[in-house]
Structures are given as structure tokens and as C-alpha cells.
């Protein structure tokens, strides 16, 4: 049993290193994420901002791996066999009318049953390029419909 834990840890570390070390030219990756962002006029609705106590939020130092967006998103596609299936905007102040300051996306691999949450932030790289950061990675995903019912694998992605 101890060996399985070690194997899992080594595999996880190798996957992260693989994402960071394998460089594949993929210039359309960032464009795909940005282009797939909805331009629906209904997005600009007059929804009141959520009212919650910001004093309950604290800053935590956590390991986040970032790289040039072209590299990161191509590694997600080519190495991890993930397709970007969710894309959303991060807007200033969390307001529908705020300036878009980042893009959140989720890449999922049906074959590997793995998924990665990314945040792509424009113009923060050393040469002004966009950077994409891994916010989280997981496996054995379960998907649910809008009513909270689990979607069975044969009905899902």
C-alpha cells in the first residue's frame, strides 16, 4: 500500500514537470481560449453584485505554476490530452460591466479522466505576453446537471 502512494506521488510530480518542461509550439491555444469567450449581449445584464463580508477572506501563499499561455495550453492539449470545455471571464470588481482582466478555463480529458483549472492573465509575462497558471488539477471527475443530479459517464462529455 505504501508503494501505491509513492507511485501516485511520483506520477503526479512527473505530470507537473511534464507540463512545465515539454515545449510545443501552439500559438492558437491562447487565441482559442480568448475567442471562445462568450460575446452574448445577455452577459451585460444588470445583476446586483453579491454582498458578502470581504473581511472573512484571507490571503494564502500556495504553489501556483505559471508559464507562457501558448506553452501551458498546448501542454494541456497535447500532453495531458485535455480539451477546454469551460471558459469564463474574470471581471474587475466581479461586476458584469467590469473590465475583463483574466480568463478562467477548465480542460478535461475523457480518456484519462483528468482535468485542470487554468487562469490566463494577459500582459503579465516578462515580455508582455499572457501567462496561464494552473489553479488545480484533479482526476476521477463527476459531472452534475443544473439540478444537482450526477450525469452518468455514458451521458457526459
- List the chain pLDDT tens, one digit each, 157 residues: 444 444 444 434 434 443 333 333 333 344 444 444 444 444 455 666 667 788 888 989 888 899 999 999 999 999 999 999 999 999 998 888 999 999 999 999 999 999 999 999 999 999 999 999 999 999 988 888 899 889 886 654 5
**Which helix (H) or strand (E) covers residue 5, if one does?**
helix 2-21
- Grid coordinates representing 101 are 482582466
Residue 102 gets the label, from left (phi > 0), alpha (psi -120 to 50) or beta, of beta
Q: Return the pLDDT at 31.
A: 46
The pTM of the whole model exceeds 0.85: no
The angle subtended at Cα 54 by Cα 117 and Cα 118, nearest 5°, is 10
Nearest alpha carbon to residue 33 among 102, 123, 112: 102
Sort strands 131-139 and 65-68 into parallel, antiparallel or unpaired. antiparallel
Q: Where are the domains of the chain?
A: 2-40+59-155
pLDDT score for 143: 87
Amino acid at each position: 500500500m505504501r508503494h501505491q502512494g509513492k507511485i501516485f506521488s511520483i506520477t503526479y510530480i512527473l505530470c507537473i514537470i511534464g507540463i512545465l518542461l515539454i515545449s510545443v509550439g501552439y500559438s492558437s491555444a491562447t487565441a482559442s481560449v480568448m475567442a471562445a469567450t462568450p460575446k452574448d449581449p445577455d452577459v451585460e445584464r444588470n445583476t446586483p453584485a453579491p454582498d458578502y463580508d470581504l473581511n472573512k477572506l484571507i490571503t494564502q501563499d500556495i504553489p501556483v505554476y505559471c508559464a507562457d499561455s501558448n506553452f501551458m495550453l498546448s501542454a494541456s492539449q497535447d500532453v495531458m490530452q485535455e480539451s477546454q470545455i469551460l471558459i469564463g471571464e474574470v471581471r474587475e470588481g466581479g461586476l458584469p460591466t467590469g473590465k475583463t482582466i483574466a480568463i478562467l478555463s477548465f480542460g478535461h480529458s475523457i480518456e484519462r479522466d483528468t482535468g485542470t483549472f487554468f487562469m490566463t492573465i494577459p500582459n503579465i509575462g516578462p515580455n508582455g505576453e499572457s501567462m496561464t497558471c494552473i489553479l488545480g488539477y484533479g482526476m476521477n471527475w463527476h459531472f452534475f446537471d443544473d439540478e444537482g443530479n450526477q450525469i452518468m459517464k455514458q451521458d457526459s462529455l
